[in-house]
């Protein structure tokens, strides 16, 4: 019996992990351990792309600042909004004249074009539990689509990188910086059940048609 394979499709959403780019004294190497608990979910919205940051707590810590190193023209940086967050989380976009670079970013050629900061008290208002999150929505640049964003974020030499500053890392209370890298393969989000069912049904229909054609021949 012959079988067919459904094509690999992009369903408009994927996740990226972070890698440690600093290891401040006193953290006893915990930076490389804690990096696995941070994630940004990238999804296609209505004329904009959503970046949802989460902290799957293993080691107590708080995501307090977000950094975007964006290729020219990819996103509309005048169309930015903090569109949602978990209870207790509160972020604001930094004004154009107050954009700082990711700590440790100079050493990896990271240059911030857009940043957002947890409001005071910073660590308490940051993303510091597994049930908390913050979403940043940014408009697409002229003629750009979600596919352009995904391509820029992934691959061996990504032109688009996202960074986070994490504070109050226990047990030392120190802070560290983390960045997405293109060699982190994007984790494709599973399609909605209705979409997947339609793909399967279409494939089964083709399979039945091929079997009938073989019998006629």
Q: How many domains does the chain have?
A: 2
Q: Is residue 8 part of a domain?
A: no
Burial class (CB in 10 A: 0-12, 13-18, 19+), 143: exposed
Say whether both 23 and 68 belong to one domain: yes
What string of DSSP letters covers 40-76? EEEEE-SSEEEEEEEE--SS--EEEEEEEE--TTTEE
pLDDT (0 to 100) of residue 125: 98
Say whether both 115 and 204 belong to one domain: no
| Number of Cβ within a 10 Å radius of residue 104 | 19
How far, in Å, CA of 202 to CA of 35, rounded?
Answer: 41
What value does the CA radius of gyration of the chain take, rounded to a whole number of Å?
21
Say whether both 133 and 83 belong to one domain: yes
Say whether both 156 and 215 belong to one domain: no
Walking along the chain (217 residues) 10 residues at a time, the average pLDDT comes out as: 40 89 70 92 96 96 98 97 95 84 92 96 97 98 97 92 96 92 57 46 49 56
Which residue, 16, 91, 82, is CA-closest to 48? 82
pLDDT (0 to 100) of residue 155: 81
What string of DSSP letters covers 98-110? G--PPTTGGGGT-
Say whether both 194 and 130 belong to one domain: no
pLDDT (0 to 100) of residue 183: 60
pLDDT (0 to 100) of residue 208: 46
What is the β-pairing status of strands 114-118 and 62-69?
antiparallel
Q: Residue 145: which residues within 8 A CB-CB, separation 6 or more?
A: none
Q: Is residue 4 part of a domain?
A: no
Q: Is residue 53 part of a domain?
A: yes
pLDDT (0 to 100) of residue 31: 85
Give residue 113's domain range. Answer: 13-185
Task: Give the three-state DSSP class for 118.
Answer: strand
Q: Is residue 199 part of a domain?
A: yes
Say whether both 204 and 151 belong to one domain: no
Q: Is residue 2 part of a domain?
A: no
């Amino acid at each position: 019996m012959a079988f067919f394979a459904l094509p690999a499709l992009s369903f408009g959403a994927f996740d990226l992990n972070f890698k440690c780019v600093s290891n401040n004294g006193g953290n006893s190497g915990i930076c490389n351990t804690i990096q696995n608990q941070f994630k940004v979910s990238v999804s296609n919205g209505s004329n904009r792309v959503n970046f949802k940051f989460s902290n799957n707590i293993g080691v107590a810590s708080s995501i307090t600042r977000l950094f975007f190193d964006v290729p020219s023209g990819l996103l509309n940086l005048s169309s930015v909004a903090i569109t949602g967050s978990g209870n207790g989380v509160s972020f604001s976009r930094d004004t154009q004249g107050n954009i700082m670079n990711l700590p440790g970013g100079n050493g990896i050629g990271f240059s911030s074009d857009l940043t957002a900061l947890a409001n005071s008290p910073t660590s308490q208002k940051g993303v510091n539990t597994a049930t908390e999150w913050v979403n940043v929505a940014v408009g697409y640049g002229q003629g750009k689509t979600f596919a352009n964003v995904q391509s820029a974020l992934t691959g061996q030499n990504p032109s688009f990188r996202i960074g986070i500053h994490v504070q109050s890392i226990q047990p030392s209370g120190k802070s560290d910086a983390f960045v997405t890298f293109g060699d982190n393969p994007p984790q494709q989000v599973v399609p909605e059940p209705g979409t997947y069912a339609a793909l399967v049904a279409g494939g089964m229909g083709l399979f039945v048609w091929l079997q009938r054609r073989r019998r006629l021949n």
